[in-house]
């Protein structure tokens, strides 16, 4: 089962100050790591939508239902009205479960454009990561919910694999395609029910990430670290790169490591 957690970031932090505050509160690091991170991308929402609509013709509704359940928190009132105007119901699943309906309506250009728009608020990818002697595959899903449904921002499913090479082979055999490779620094702490990490990625200022089961527990950490609650934002690392003027999807940044100055900083942070 995937685990739903809330997750926020505090950007551009003073690492030594954060470490000092945590130490003053009796919170010691559980680990300091240089991580090897490989990202594998999935098809876009509109590509998956078209694929699964085609499968409906052979009475296979599993993929379509799963996709809709994942993305529907992204639909706002205007989107739901559009869906209803085309399908006669605001609920895609209700529509496909009625075998008498004309499934060709699902190929409406307006609905395909809606799926393309949904890509802006929905992202799902696979991460292969080596931390010391441990290698894991994590399927991550982030939904920026602006619609009629409520859902926590981050869903993760993580499991161990024997090594990086086996992980790559598994993902490639499943049809996922390699997107990029990065080295990163992570200093991790446990505090009550939350995990606090200090991350340093190549070409980015360090940031703090706080993950926990409830907003209240995360807010407690944010305040303890000396920040205001409005400093905490929900953003993925790709968008942090974008805000720093770096297109992480370009070939130039397909393989990212620390430069000499960053390595010096990282070594200082990890002391």
- What domains can you pick out in the chain, each with its CATH number? 3-41+123-269 (2.40.320.10), 45-118 (no CATH)
pTM for the predicted model, two decimal places? 0.71
Q: Which residue has the tokens 């200022």?
A: 205
**pLDDT per position as a tens digit, 186-204:** 999 999 999 999 999 999 9
Under the banding of pLDDT at 50, 70 and 90, the label for residue 41 is confident
Q: Tell me if residue 133 falls in helix, strand or coil.
A: coil
Contact between residue 44 and residue 18 where contact means Cβ atoms under 8 Å apart:
no
Contact between residue 4 and residue 70 where contact means Cβ atoms under 8 Å apart:
no
**pLDDT per position as a tens digit, 109-119:** 999 999 999 98
Give the list of residues 6+ apart from residue 177 with CB closer than 8 angstroms, or none. Answer: 40, 41
Determine whether 8 is exposed, middle or buried from the number of CB atoms within 10 Å of its CB (0-12, 13-18, 19+).
Answer: buried
**Tokens encoding 79:** 């989107």
pLDDT: which is higher, 84 or 58? 84
**Does 145 have pLDDT greater than 60?**
no
pLDDT: which is higher, 122 or 114? 114
CB atoms within 10 A of CB 115: 20
* Separation of CA 127 from chain center: 9
Mean per-residue pLDDT, 50-65: 92
Q: What is the pLDDT of residue 153?
A: 57
| Rounded Cα distance, 44 and 71, in Å | 12
Contact between residue 209 and residue 8 where contact means Cβ atoms under 8 Å apart:
yes
């Amino acid at each position: 089962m995937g685990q739903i957690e809330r997750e926020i970031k505090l950007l551009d932090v003073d690492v030594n100050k954060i470490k000092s505050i945590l130490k003053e509160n009796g919170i010691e690091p559980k680990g300091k790591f240089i991580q090897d991170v490989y990202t594998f991308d999935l098809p876009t929402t509109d590509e998956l939508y078209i694929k699964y609509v085609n499968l409906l013709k052979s009475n296979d509704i599993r993929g379509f239902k799963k996709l809709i359940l994942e993305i529907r928190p992204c639909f706002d009132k205007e989107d739901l009205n559009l869906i209803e105007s085309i399908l006669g119901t605001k609920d895609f699943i209700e529509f496909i479960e009625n075998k008498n309906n004309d499934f060709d309506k699902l190929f409406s250009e307006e609905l395909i454009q809606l799926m393309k728009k949904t890509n802006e608020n929905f992202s799902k990818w696979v991460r292969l990561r080596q931390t010391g002697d441990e290698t894991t595959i994590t399927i991550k899903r982030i939904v920026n919910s602006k619609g009629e449904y409520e859902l926590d921002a981050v869903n993760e499913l993580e499991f161990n694999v024997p090594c990086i090479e086996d992980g790559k082979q598994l993902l490639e055999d499943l049809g996922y395609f390699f997107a990029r490779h990065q080295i990163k620094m992570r200093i991790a702490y446990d505090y009550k029910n939350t995990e606090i990490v200090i991350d340093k990625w190549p070409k980015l200022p360090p940031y703090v990430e706080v993950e926990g089961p409830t907003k209240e527990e995360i807010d407690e950490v944010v305040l303890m670290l000396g920040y205001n609650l409005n400093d905490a934002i929900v953003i993925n690392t790709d968008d942090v790169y974008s805000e720093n003027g770096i297109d992480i999807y370009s070939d130039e940044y397909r393989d990212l490591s620390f430069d000499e100055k960053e390595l010096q900083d990282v070594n200082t942070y990890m002391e």
